[in-house]
Chains A and B, each alone.
Chain A
């Protein structure tokens, strides 16, 4: 299985600040078809995960441009700018390039 390693495990941020979350995969996530199937999800307390970013850098419908994804191959980053209270929760990266799909262990974003 492809192992997804997220860092840091937790992150404290002030409202209005900026943070970055790293996600590394144990194998390249470039699919034979040329796409890179790396997504980012946010799970707010007591809720189901919600999709933020897909195929590395594409924002899902309704997602603020304060969220941006970047990276290639095995190294990926999620950046959140101008952090708001509603951004708090656990962020997961996930890959779908190779079966079985796998997720990182999560990064908890908390208020400083």
Chain B
């Protein structure tokens, strides 16, 4: 069974940083692209970026809306996906989902809430 479990969310002040983690299980982690997607309360999802699989060199793509502030990485020995978020703004407040795949995204984690507020 595919499982994706995010952690690391919480309340952070504007300008601050946060690192989210996603523990993956139930599939061969290195075979899959992995994405981060966020969803502000009551709004549509927003794709943040993707890190490719082993066969594609673990390269990354980012949404221009977060490029330069957010970094996606993965630990393929422990099957963990990361999202490093810097210079956070109020508009980054959202539920953040870890997800398997890129297009389509076939499994989503349960999400973790990130609130940016003073």
The A-contacting residues of B in range 90-106, CB under 8 angstroms, are 97, 102-106
- Contact present for A99 and B61 (CB under 8 Å): yes
> Cβ of A89 < 8 Å from any Cβ of B?
no
The segment out of B14-22, B41-49, B78-86 that lies at the interface is: B41-49
Contact of B104 among A48, A51, A105 (CB under 8 A): A51
Question: What is the interface size of chain B, counting residues whose CB is below 8 A from a CB of the partner?
Answer: 24
- Contact present for A60 and B106 (CB under 8 Å): yes
Please indicate the chain A residues that have their CB under 8 angstroms from the CB of B87 in the complex. Answer: none
The A-contacting residues of B in range 32-46, CB under 8 angstroms, are 35, 43-46
What is the CA–CA distance of A41 and B39 in the complex, to the nearest angstrom?
A: 14
Contact of B102 among A41, A55, A92, A101 (CB under 8 A): A101
Whose C-beta in chain B lies nearest to the C-beta of A61? B106
Please indicate the chain A residues that have their CB under 8 angstroms from the CB of B97 in the complex. Answer: 48-49
Per-residue CB contact flags for chain B residues 107-118 toward chain A (1 = under 8 Å, else 0) read: 111110000000
- Contact present for A92 and B45 (CB under 8 Å): yes
Chain B residues with CB under 8 Å of chain A are 35, 43-47, 49-50, 61-65, 97, 102-111
